[in-house]
Structure 1
Amino acid sequence: MFDKEIYIKRRKILKEQVGNGLILLLGSEESSMNYKDNLYPFRQDSTFLYFFGIDQPGLTALIDIDNDKEILFGDDLTTEQMVWTGYKEPLQSIADRVGIPEVKTKKHLNAEVAVALMQKRKIHFLPPYRPEQVATLKHLLGIEPLIMPNLASVELIHAVVNQRSYKSPEEIAEIVNAVNTTVDMQLSAIKMAKEGMTEAQLAGNIQGIAIGAGGNLSFPTILTMHGEILHNSYSQSVLSDGSMVLCDCGAETGMHYAGDLTRTFPVSKKFTNIQRELYDIVFTAHKAAVELLKPGILFRDVHLFACEKLVEGLHQLGLMKGDIKETVALGAHALFFPCGLGHMMGLDTHDMENLGEQYVGYNKSIKQSTQFGLKSLRLGKELEEGFVITVEPGLYFNPDLINEWSAEKKFESFINYDRLENFKNVSGIRIEEDFLITTQGSQLLGKPLAKTADEIEELRLT
């Protein structure tokens, strides 16, 4: 939990930006796994954490802008309940530490909302993304689930994005802690991997590092020899000589700030010649993208420039041809890079994604593309000082997509399909790091981690 004044200031700005009405912010509820009392690990809603800082289930906050009131609703545990959980501090005591003077039990929430509805006051709420939130909003507001997302408050979404996008020094320190733990996770995976192990063994080891550091994973680990499948999880597949492992993982601190790093390394001690050539192409694109980072530049332009660098490298390997800028403009490169270059990061790995990419990564002057590949770019707008973002170019050789495009002769004036036949089993390569946008440019967050092919191989040899 940060200092009380931080939360008070955040809520003050929120009220000023929303303007009028009531703000209903839902904390997360406990969620049962396979029977009622066997629970998934609790994760508090990130926006609730940002404005209230209280990391426990069963809470709802109501901010009455017009009357300048802030009320926290929740129930203290009974002595009988604490037989199972251990002692839990009274909610009023916790609320005092974040500057909330008024605490009421959950049964009073219905009455407060009912009065506001009767008075036809505006009640602002965010788009729900969990079934418990949908049920609560239906109960309180009488809104049917199918139309609920369309009735979420755009004013509140903008106000939340306007604050959470800019990371304070306290937040940066937390993110750096998360990234540093993520570096330890990556180092362990790179050094520990060997032929005959399973992907799951590696993934389990690095999750232990995240938990041991005081938090947990910031997202389900991607650890796979099939890196061409962008969000492939780990499996019981056995690491085999000649394959590459793509490890995309992140730690989350005890305060729930995220890290997110990707490295790709050979199961053998060294990359094959073709693996190294492709790795170097991705590294070149990564380096070129990072050099462009600064306030005022469209991240979409950084993405497109990185795509051009990928195409340049594929030209040299004889996999692509034709004008490079035209190739990227038409989207022919998306056969090899069908995703975006990066995203915002903070309390969420994909920061504020539950609020909608059109609000977080785009704005009135720049809209999200519908083109394959480019439509998956989560961040397109101008970078600003205080943003924390990822940069993660890659090359992916998906046999199914290659076969489909080849059969359709899609972009055949830009893609050498005959030559590509020999690359179908390459899988995928990604390099990802986390950056703070500063006044003059950018700052790499966290301690150094091997990145070049030589550095990766050196780690594999230790």
Structure 2
Amino acid sequence: MPKPATPDPRLPRLTEVPAFREFLSTGWGTPDRTPPVEPGIAAAAAAHRERLSAAFPGRTLVIASGRAPVRANDSNYDFRPNSDFFWATGCSAEDAVVVLRPSGSGHDATLYIPAPAHPGETGFFADANHGELWVGSAPGPSDWSAVLDLRVELLSALPDALRGAERPLLAGSLTSRHEALTPLTLSPELGRVLSELRMIKDEWEIAELRRAVDATVGGFSAVIRELPTAVAGGGERWLQGTFDRHARTTGNGPGYSTIVGSGAHAPTLHWVRCDGPVRGEDAILLDMGVETRAFYTADVTRTFPVSGTFSPEQRSVHDLVEASHRAGMAAVRPGRDFTDFHHAAMEVIAQGLHDWGLLPVSVDEALSATGQQHRRYLVCGIGHHLGLDVHDCAMSSYEAYQGGSMAPGMVLTVEPGLYFHAFDETVPPELRGIGVRLEDDLLLTATGAEVLSDALPIDASGIEAWMRAH
């Protein structure tokens, strides 16, 4: 709010009223300041730091949690910690920094957090970002240390901690304004190594991903139950809101912007506007994922007939995508190239499109590196790593990611589709406006792959039966 040039007695500024400050400074008890952490996170984060330490002997490592972005003026979006920071700490505090200093054959870690504004401090009532009267109980260093089994200090000690550090490496989010970090720039090397370490999930992370997938399946049920309301006028946004409410109730929230594309919107790959109607004759594409309170997300897609029964045209497209999906999932095996499932799925798509007369060239020409005509109807990738980010491990090297091999502990998505836009004149009129995607989350095991999301059927008849049951 603007500050007057001269004091206005009708609107006194509370920070400038001694009597108010004195009265507000006393008479308060101590609220429960236990930080919100999930069971097992302290041990998991400690193990993550050990792996990180082994990759950088003798180097000082710095990772920042970041700050919530501004939505408008003085209103911010909800804060979510940087994924690398959370992986290494288990801490969800805004504006925090963790420093790993070389010590012996490893590192000692210290977490630095902003000073909480407790009773007796001006910020208690005047700081909308940290004051307890504004944000609720504000954990201090001892509170965080107790739940994370980690040394925790105030951010004011960060400059001294970094003084004298030789060529420290920085990762995380730099949206916070920490003067001590100003001389540093983000280290591509540290970011890459963190991404590549996060490719292999430990048992604690796998349990979180199972929880995310299970909650997401429940979200699909909730959305399907609301189809009549959506058709009656609620539209796509009613269904998007249904899932987002479910995600906020069962987890931290949606792991990414929920995609609800009905009818001609289904071919739009990331239809997150969700401002269209839902019609009884539509096929509706739902791409949704619950993020747990430990920030691990699912990513699952199914395409449903709003009426409960696919039309012959919708079913034919769905059947081809299903065949591609099964071929892709069958290629997800430890030791195989990451690209194997991509090629397996694409071969089925290209052959099917050729059989329908939609390719201007042969299947072999289309699949060649100088062809790719089949990708007109599938321009996106068809799988990725999954974890703390929906598109996880994105800072990895090409050699470790697309050019690497699949290994036990990886969690991947497989998600082929066909997207026939209503204005694509190369497509027969009866297929225009149909978009189908199938996406599952797979855990690589020692001998194969487990489909974490297999509670949802992938065949057209199974989907119709599942809808009737839910």
TM-score w.r.t. structure 1 length?
A: 0.83
Q: Which has the larger share of helix?
A: 1
- Cα separation, 1, equivalents of 2:41 and 2:207: 14
Task: Give the C-alpha shift of residue 380 in structure 1.
Answer: 4.9
Counterpart check, 1:282 vs 2:321: yes
Q: What are the Cα deviations for residues 281-327 of structure 1, in whole angstroms up to 9, with x where unaligned?
A: 00011111111111111121210110110122223323236432331
Note the 1:46-445 alignment, pairs <5 A. Answer: 46-65=83-102, 68-74=107-113, 75-79=115-119, 80=124, 81-101=131-151, 103-116=152-165, 121-126=166-171, 128=173, 132-133=175-176, 135-136=177-178, 140-142=181-183, 148=185, 152-154=187-189, 156-194=190-228, 195-196=231-232, 197-225=234-262, 226-320=265-359, 322-329=361-368, 330-353=371-394, 356=395, 358-359=396-397, 362-363=398-399, 379-398=402-421, 402=424, 417=426, 420-422=427-429, 425-445=432-452
Q: 1:190 to 1:258 in 2, by over 3 A?
A: same
Q: 1:291 to 1:165 in 2, by over 3 A?
A: same
Q: Secondary structure of 2:222's partner?
A: helix
* Residue 33 of structure 1: aligned partner: 71
Q: 1:235 to 1:446 in 2, by over 3 A?
A: closer
Q: 1:87 to 1:241 in 2, by over 3 A?
A: closer
- Cα separation, 2, equivalents of 1:34 and 1:339: 32
The question of whether the paired residues in 2 share the 8 Å contact of 1:342 and 1:379 is answered with: no
Q: 1:91 to 1:446 in 2, by over 3 A?
A: farther
Q: What are the Cα deviations for residues 54-90 of structure 1, in whole angstroms up to 9, with x where unaligned?
A: 1221211111125743222112332222223333333
| Higher CA-based Rg | 2
- Cα separation, 2, equivalents of 1:440 and 1:381: 18
Q: Secondary structure of 2:284's partner?
A: strand
TM-score w.r.t. structure 2 length?
A: 0.81
Aligned-pair Cα RMSD in Å: 2.3
Letter in 1 for 2:144: I
- Cα separation, 2, equivalents of 1:298 and 1:265: 32
Q: 1:391 to 1:43 in 2, by over 3 A?
A: same
Q: Secondary structure of 1:277's partner?
A: helix
Task: Give the C-alpha shift of residue 112 in structure 1.
Answer: 3.2
Task: Give the C-alpha shift of residue 399 in structure 1.
Answer: 5.1
Q: Secondary structure of 1:315's partner?
A: helix
Task: Give the C-alpha shift of residue 341 in structure 1.
Answer: 1.3
Task: Give the C-alpha shift of residue 436 in structure 1.
Answer: 0.2
- Cα separation, 2, equivalents of 1:398 and 1:86: 48
Q: Secondary structure of 2:278's partner?
A: coil
- Cα separation, 2, equivalents of 1:332 and 1:379: 21
* Residue 56 of structure 2: aligned partner: 18
Q: Secondary structure of 1:246's partner?
A: strand
- Cα separation, 2, equivalents of 1:424 and 1:446: 28
The question of whether the paired residues in 1 share the 8 Å contact of 2:443 and 2:449 is answered with: yes
Task: Give the C-alpha shift of residue 187 in structure 1.
Answer: 2.2
Task: Give the C-alpha shift of residue 392 in structure 1.
Answer: 0.4
Q: 1:304 to 1:244 in 2, by over 3 A?
A: same
Q: Secondary structure of 1:77's partner?
A: coil
* Structure 2 gap segments, 5+ residues each: 1-37, 125-130
Task: Give the C-alpha shift of residue 163 in structure 1.
Answer: 2.4
- Cα separation, 2, equivalents of 1:275 and 1:380: 35
* Residue 410 of structure 1: aligned partner: none
* Residue 369 of structure 1: aligned partner: none
The question of whether the paired residues in 2 share the 8 Å contact of 1:181 and 1:210 is answered with: yes
- Cα separation, 2, equivalents of 1:306 and 1:94: 47
Q: What are the Cα deviations for residues 198-227 of structure 1, in whole angstroms up to 9, with x where unaligned?
A: 100011111111111132111110111212
Q: What are the Cα deviations for residues 162-197 of structure 1, in whole angstroms up to 9, with x where unaligned?
A: 421111111111101100111111122234213333
Q: What are the Cα deviations for residues 132-177 of structure 1, in whole angstroms up to 9, with x where unaligned?
A: 15x54x762336xxxx5xx5241x2343134211111111111011
- Number of matched pairs: 411
Counterpart check, 1:456 vs 2:463: yes
The question of whether the paired residues in 1 share the 8 Å contact of 2:300 and 2:439 is answered with: yes
Q: Secondary structure of 1:198's partner?
A: helix
The question of whether the paired residues in 2 share the 8 Å contact of 1:183 and 1:447 is answered with: no
- Cα separation, 2, equivalents of 1:162 and 1:15: 14
- Cα separation, 1, equivalents of 2:434 and 2:140: 53
- Cα separation, 1, equivalents of 2:188 and 2:464: 51
Letter in 1 for 2:456: L
- Cα separation, 2, equivalents of 1:214 and 1:221: 14
Q: Secondary structure of 1:209's partner?
A: helix
* Structure 1 gap segments, 5+ residues each: 365-377, 404-416
Q: Secondary structure of 1:183's partner?
A: helix
- Cα separation, 1, equivalents of 2:210 and 2:41: 19
Letter in 2 for 1:223: V
- Cα separation, 1, equivalents of 2:444 and 2:146: 34
- Cα separation, 2, equivalents of 1:262 and 1:212: 20
Q: Secondary structure of 1:276's partner?
A: helix
